[in-house]
A = this chain, B = another copy of it.
Amino acid sequence: MKKVKIDAYAILQRVRKENPLVHHLTNWVTIYDCANIVKVIGGSPVMAHAREEASQMAGLASSVVLNIGTLTTELVEAMKLAAGAANKKGIPVLLDACGVGATSMRYQKSLELLDEAKIDILKGNASEIANLAGEMVRTKGVDAGDVLSDKVSLAKRLSSARGCAVVITGKEDIVAEKDKVYLINNGTPFMSGIVGTGCMSSSVVATFAAVEPDLALASAAGLVCFEIAAELAAKETKGPGSFKEKLFDCIFNLDKKSIDKMQRVEG
């Protein structure tokens, strides 16, 4: 893989211009931050989890985010309805497999979502994605998820098996869709110092996917923009409180120059 330049700014500008509606069925912890990040980056967030309206709302949207961070059986039923409506309309559905390895409920419900709906972008950290791939992550005391080539290979295999784009976030992010792979090396340690950056990056990716049909490119561009904003925020930060405030300022003010100059992408 070698260094590539992606036109993330062009997609960001399309988001700002088209103002796509992004429907979320998400967790109660970061629900505000997910809504606000979509708004600040130029989209239009909506959160609606009642089974009675989940599919109608998805029918109005340009993409759908499913995040199982504080799932219940009822919420997952509403997710299936929203995903079904989205599939029918042909808009992308992103599943953030938040904490999937922690409990059997999360694992089973994630598989149900993958089996009963068409998920277009599947996103998680290395251990979550390995878990969903049904693979042994730890071998001989070494976390296989720590070896980059293993993670790329995992993402590609799961992408083929599930017919979707796969996004593995971490110090280095991996986006795989069939044979296309992007590695994104942006970001800052401050991102893992607060709650919500993973969920917010899912919302940003889904917002970009709402305007860009190449889902691998949309995912890579969304991560690049989010993480460059985080790098800019980190520069003026005294701790996690000020980092978060500045993250929203920096995403709002993100310009072509920063995106072109700061992006570190391989493909």
Residues of A within 8 A of B (CB): 27-33, 35-36, 39-40, 45-50, 52-53, 56-57, 60, 69-73, 99, 102-106, 193-196, 238-242, 244-253
Contact = CB atoms under 8 A, between A and B. Distances in A.
Nearest to A40: B240
A253 B193 CA distance: 12
Contacts of A57: 102-103
Given A103-B57, A248-B239, A35 B29 contact: yes
B72 A105 contact: no
A248 to B, nearest CB: 3
A64 to B, nearest CB: 14
A94 to B, nearest CB: 18
A248 B252 contact: no
B240 A52 contact: no
B194 A40 contact: yes
A78 to B, nearest CB: 9
A248 B253 contact: no
Contacts of A28: 28, 31, 47
Contact of A47 (B39, B69, B194, B238): B69
A195 B39 contact: yes
A199 to B, nearest CB: 10
Given A49-B72, A56-B103, 8 more contacts: A28-B47, A48-B70, A48-B102, A52-B103, A53-B103, A56-B105, A240-B248, A244-B248
B47 A70 contact: yes
A247 B252 contact: no
A241 B232 CA distance: 14
10 nearest A-B pairs in the assembled complex, by CB-CB distance: A239-B249, A241-B248, A53-B103, A241-B245, A53-B105, A239-B252, A241-B249, A52-B105, A56-B103, A35-B195
Contacts of A244: 241, 245, 248
Contacts of A49: 70, 72
B27 A30 contact: no
Contacts of A73: 50, 52
A246 B245 CA distance: 11
A246 B239 CA distance: 8
A73 B78 CA distance: 13
B253 A249 contact: no
A56 B108 CA distance: 14
A106 to B, nearest CB: 7
Contacts of A71: 50
Contacts of A46: 99, 102
